[in-house]
A and B are shown apart, each in its own frame.
Chain A
């Protein structure tokens, strides 16, 4: 793999409160090339915070600290808020989990997509509309003209998520951070959304950070997997080798999944070892 697109070294995310400091991410290092990297972990493992910290989307009183956050050779930490706005969307995009909360409810879907395009290019209104409709088509929305003029409440959850993806992809980012982009979708729609993202990675050489709790999905979709627990990386491996993962936490998660082909009376329950929290974070460079 050539020079990585994104390099993160010793990233910490902290939320100080009156009594103590909650450490959501505790000193993780990883890099992402033009590939599909999956970050898996349970709720509270810090996987979403990692994605947000890269784009500097952690709100006060949260604090982000890192030795290095480099994107395409550029130091993201050194950028002003104004320069950062140019990075968000244009170079690095973020798709969030729930379309219900990420779309503006009082603005037509099409206008929101066109706005995303016009902010980052000097395109005319007509051109932006044309591109938006093309993009809606690309995410396999039937009847894109009708959807263009709809409000978010008029579209289904699956369609909302595809609209979000269209909006995030229209400025043609180099890196897409997808935070549980398909968890709210039906399996059949999920497959289509993944195919769209897959195509972009292969054809445009986009980098993808795919944040998910679904081990099977990540194993079959990504190139590389990072497994997080308690704000640290406990293990990293190639996605097709996830079934042979060694860390007891990863093993525990895999065993806790029911399997269609291997029926068992009882599912094995994950026994958590307090040592996992203390163990140093594993570096996950490509």
Chain B
């Protein structure tokens, strides 16, 4: 259902559209056991073309982050099909899988180890995956995210929120992934810093031909970053639309309209 046949619209060109980077079919995710068993994600299917940028929006508790966590392997109690680069993903992840998919988390204050230097944070994945030229790669990564090599031996507490998020992005890029999962990457940041990080993410996507899956509750941010948007509510995808449909406020589902309306600012009670 969610693979849209669009006669026009979408900024994706036809070449990149032909290859699917991530395909999810009938994904179900459960939490808990027995009486407390709770289904967080119900029958979610999406497909993201290579080089595409796909947005997932919805309220807290709608299951949008859980989809990302299932794809990245942080949640294990799932069934359905997840295809990355045309290959089925099994429950047990191979080392090589980590190199294709990486994730950036919401809170830059919580996602970096407070007692590891930036150097250690960035070089650890390289060591685990037996990369060469670790020194050069760490320096280059810091330059690529706009920090510069001088940040290499600092600790997270010496950095601002925006700088930490840049480190988190650098860490995600260390293993040269194809797909980047972004879980509310800017919601903890000030608007001016948000602009910097979003610009950085768009530049990196262009330069490295990455595929993005962006989870956020901010419709303006998805509209800026993504070509295609899925709206989630209570664990289900209620609507998939391209960005033009959203801009022209013509979504079909009532919940999507409510979200759009709310993003226009405050409206006194009718």
Q: Are these two chains actual partners, yes or no?
A: yes
A-B contact number at CB 8 A: 93
Q: Given A220-B266, A221-B266, A253 and B191 touching (CB < 8 A)?
A: yes
Chain A, interface size: which category?
35 or more
User: CB-defined interface of B190-202 with A at 8 Å, one 1/0 digit per residue?
Assistant: 1111111011001
List chain A residues, Cβ under 8 A from B221. 258
Q: List residues 219-236 of chain A with CB under 8 A from any CB of chain B.
A: 219-221
B32: interface (CB < 8 Å): no
- Segment at the interface with B among A7-15, A80-88, A209-217: A209-217
B228 CB, nearest partner CB in chain A, Å: 14
Q: Given A42-B191, A260-B219, A187 and B199 touching (CB < 8 A)?
A: no
List chain B residues, Cβ under 8 A from A191. 262, 266-267
List chain A residues, Cβ under 8 A from B190. 42-43, 213
A155: interface (CB < 8 Å): no
List chain B residues, Cβ under 8 A from A157. 60
A268: interface (CB < 8 Å): yes
Q: Is the CB of B266 within 8 A of A187?
A: no
Q: Is the CB of B192 within 8 A of A269?
A: yes
Considering the complex, give the chain A residue whose CB is closest to the CB of B206.
Answer: A265
User: CB-defined interface of A166-202 with B at 8 Å, one 1/0 digit per residue?
Assistant: 0000000000000000000011111100110011000
Contact of B269 among A158, A188, A199, A261 (CB under 8 A): A199
Q: Is the CB of B195 within 8 A of A256?
A: yes
Considering the complex, give the chain B residue whose CB is closest to the CB of A268.
Answer: B195
Q: Is the CB of A256 within 8 A of B192?
A: yes
Q: Given A156-B61, A258-B198, A190 and B192 touching (CB < 8 A)?
A: no
Considering the complex, give the chain B residue whose CB is closest to the CB of A272.
Answer: B192
The complex places the Cα of A189 from the Cα of B58 at a distance, in Å, of 12
Considering the complex, give the chain B residue whose CB is closest to the CB of A190.
Answer: B262
Contact of A269 among B196, B223, B258 (CB under 8 A): B196
Q: Is the CB of A220 within 8 A of B247?
A: no
List chain A residues, Cβ under 8 A from B265. 216-217, 219-221
The complex places the Cα of A221 from the Cα of B269 at a distance, in Å, of 12
Contact of B60 among A186, A194, A216, A264 (CB under 8 A): A186
Q: List residues 233-286 of chain A with CB under 8 A from any CB of chain B.
A: 252-253, 256-261, 263-270
Q: Is the CB of A195 within 8 A of B268?
A: yes
B46: interface (CB < 8 Å): no
Q: Is the CB of B191 within 8 A of A215?
A: yes
Given A189-B59, A257-B220, A260-B219; 13 other pairs, CB 8 A cutoff: A42-B193, A43-B161, A186-B217, A187-B59, A187-B263, A195-B269, A198-B268, A219-B265, A221-B265, A256-B195, A260-B263, A263-B224, A267-B198
A→B interface (CB under 8 Å): 42-43, 156-158, 186-191, 194-195, 198-199, 213, 215-217, 219-221, 252-253, 256-261, 263-270
B→A interface (CB under 8 Å): 59-61, 161, 190-196, 198-199, 202, 217, 219-221, 223-224, 243, 246-247, 258-260, 262-269
